[in-house]
Structure 1
Amino acid sequence: MADLSTNIAGVPLPNVFFNASGVWCQHEHELQALLESQSGSLITKSATFEPREGNPSPRYLPIPNGSINSMGLPNEGYEYYLNYARKFDYSHTKPLFISLSGLSLADNVKMVEAFVAADLPCMLEINFSCPNVPGKPQLGYDIEAMDNALATLAPLVKKPFGIKLPPYFDIAHFDQVAGVCQKYDNLAFLTCVNSVGNGLAIDFETETALIKPKDGFGGLGGAMILNTALANVNAFHRRLPGKQVIGVGGVTSGKEAFLHILAGASAVQIGTQLKEEGPALFERLNKELSDIMMAKGYNSIEDFRGKVKTL
């Protein structure tokens, strides 16, 4: 096989693949399944300060070419994931990432301070991009608020950390967000992208929205968002050469993973396809990506990472 290993902020991963936060990671038994799979890492469900039930069901459905969801951050509360991180076996070849998604800056501060005080080798990813909490806009679309949050959180975290971003659709927004990120040296990686917010799926026969929360509005994921995800990965790879990008969105096979890396991703997270296929997916993805690399004559991901050609 080709060498699929990578690193994020100097932390080695045996291969580029892991789950997108939100999928297969709310409870310990799901995280254990990821540990036992052929993923290269694992990340926990985005944690809020208090446990949350999330939005009413139905709140996730596969749809043609992807999925729609309005989960509403169901999770066990940050202390659950802090306790998991405390007992995690860090001698394992897979590193542990922890996702935090406070409903306020004050909540994020309290959660970050708790993890810093615990002094664990896990890596934090702060989610600035949940589109499915009623009444709570995405921080990633308020550039000034995101800057203020990073100005508060980056000095608290001290060590390298990352942020999860929504998809951007305007060149000016790529420039503005990159400008903010450049200001914080220990902001080591950007995870791009979260779901494309507030799509609407309607059943043709019943003339009814497919999911219940927010009058049927929910985040779009899966194959349909691949090209948006690739654009965001490449935009930030080009603008932030000193930082890394984790690509997520539209990966159903090794081919899309290859494209994410070609666009500049240092690792690749899987959401919708993992939800549909389960953790056995990682064995297939590793083989498919390796086969593609060998067919193209690439020995490692650094042979082609970020080297997409333009006309």
Structure 2
Amino acid sequence: MKQETIFAHAKFSNPFMNASGVHCMTIEELKDLEKSEAGAYITKSSTLEKREGNPSPRYVDLALGSINSMGLPNLGFHYYLDYALEQQKHQETPLFFSIAGMSQEENIEMLKLIQDSAFSGITELNLSCPNVPGKPQMAYDFQATEDLLKKVFIFFKKPLGVKLPPYFDLVHFDQMADILNNFPLTYVNSVNSIGNALFIDSKEEAVVIKPKNGFGGLGGQYIKPTALANVRAFYTRLKPEIQIIGTGGIETGRDAFEHLLCGATMLQIGTALHKEGPGIFARISKELQEIMDEKGYRSIDEFRGKLKSL
């Protein structure tokens, strides 16, 4: 298979998966992903206890993407862990497990539960949820991020990746990469939505989502250039053992090709999956294959990370 991908020392049929938060809240939705053409899939970012999240409307599709302020609605850590343990008994499509604690202590507690469980897949620690009122994004506090990772890797020995928000300053790429390179991370997922955007319905003279007076995370095509910059920045700064998942603005095979060219190994799809449903994985995989065939590439590794500068 031309799109086979080696990630975390395992072989994936293709690099595509859902972004956590999209089509992964319930077991029914997760089973849809398991049956799709995705190379892997990931659970909803969970907190220890079930959360209702923010009031609706909290997600709106826009012409070039989406805006949301979901507030981490999820069915609770144990709901997803029970599913993951059951799923891996007949594992056909690899499963990633996402957590996003409301505090450093909650993250550590969930990671200890995963470490002590029979779960043998990959865990994603979401350090970048921009939509919980009153809670800052952990990954914008570099010292707090470093402190948390130091505590985590004392006891956590299973594959672990971190999901990061977008950064906008070259110095911040340098500083965060310096921190991440000190730890045995499996991967970095870049990027989460751009936090605290505002979209206005000019006819109604009003915002379009209810929480936080309309401020929410921006996703989709709006954020692709930012996502590509972050993927490239971390690919060129992180040690080779830390792989990259590219997320942000992927809705065509060409978008996927550009993320791979910047250095991503796996690719997560959020807004476009929400708009199109799990059938999107077959379409995007086919479109990527057409680009590879046209360019004469027999595998992703022939071009991955090989973006040219002028």
Q: What TM-score bracket applies, with the shorter chain setting the length?
A: over 0.9
Alignment coverage as a number of residue pairs: 309
1:129 alignment counterpart: 128
TM-score where L is the length of structure 2? 0.98
2:147 alignment counterpart: 148
Q: What does residue range 84-95 of structure 1 map to in structure 2 within 5 Å?
A: 84-95=83-94
Give 1:91 deviation, angstroms.
4.5
Q: What does residue range 153-302 of structure 1 map to in structure 2 within 5 Å?
A: 153-185=152-184, 187-240=185-238, 241-302=240-301
In structure 2, how many angstroms separate the alpha carbons of the residues matched to 1:12 and 1:99?
A: 20
2:17 alignment counterpart: 18
In structure 2, how many angstroms separate the alpha carbons of the residues matched to 1:233 and 1:93?
A: 28
> Comparing 3-12 with 251-260, which one deviates more in the overlay?
3-12
1:63 alignment counterpart: 62
Give 1:85 deviation, angstroms.
1.2
In structure 1, how many angstroms separate the alpha carbons of the residues matched to 2:288 and 2:40?
A: 16
1:103 alignment counterpart: 102
2:73 alignment counterpart: 74
Tell me the SS of whatever aligns to 1:7: strand
Q: Deviations over 1:13-38 (max 9, x none)?
A: 11000000000001000000001100
Do 2:120 and 2:158's aligned partners in 1 also have CA atoms closer than 8 Å?
no
**Long gaps (5+) in structure 1:** none
1:35 alignment counterpart: 34
In structure 2, how many angstroms separate the alpha carbons of the residues matched to 1:245 and 1:90?
A: 27
Amino acid paired to 1:239: R
Do 2:59 and 2:69's aligned partners in 1 also have CA atoms closer than 8 Å?
yes
1:48 alignment counterpart: 47
In structure 1, how many angstroms separate the alpha carbons of the residues matched to 2:166 and 2:47?
A: 22
Q: Deviations over 1:199-221 (max 9, x none)?
A: 00010101000000000000000
TM-score where L is the length of structure 1? 0.98
Tell me the SS of whatever aligns to 1:88: helix
1:112 alignment counterpart: 111
Do 1:47 and 1:102's aligned partners in 2 also have CA atoms closer than 8 Å?
yes
In structure 2, how many angstroms separate the alpha carbons of the residues matched to 1:135 and 1:252?
A: 32
In structure 2, how many angstroms separate the alpha carbons of the residues matched to 1:209 and 1:156?
A: 45
In structure 2, how many angstroms separate the alpha carbons of the residues matched to 1:298 and 1:93?
A: 27
Give 1:89 deviation, angstroms.
3.3
Tell me the SS of whatever aligns to 1:276: helix
Give 1:77 deviation, angstroms.
0.7
Q: Are the structure 2 counterparts of residues 123 and 106 from structure 1 closer, same or farther at C-alpha, using a change threshold of 3 Å?
A: same
Amino acid paired to 1:309: K
Do 2:128 and 2:138's aligned partners in 1 also have CA atoms closer than 8 Å?
yes
Q: Are the structure 2 counterparts of residues 245 and 90 from structure 1 closer, same or farther at C-alpha, using a change threshold of 3 Å?
A: farther
Amino acid paired to 2:216: G
Give 1:155 deviation, angstroms.
2.6
Q: Percent identity?
A: 51
Q: Deviations over 1:228-258 (max 9, x none)?
A: 0000001000001331000000011000000
Q: Deviations over 1:168-202 (max 9, x none)?
A: 000000001000000102x1100000000000001
- Aligned CA-pair RMSD: 0.9
> Comparing 150-159 with 232-241, which one deviates more in the overlay?
150-159
**Long gaps (5+) in structure 2:** none
In structure 1, how many angstroms separate the alpha carbons of the residues matched to 2:298 and 2:222?
A: 30
Amino acid paired to 1:217: F
> Comparing 153-162 with 106-115, which one deviates more in the overlay?
153-162
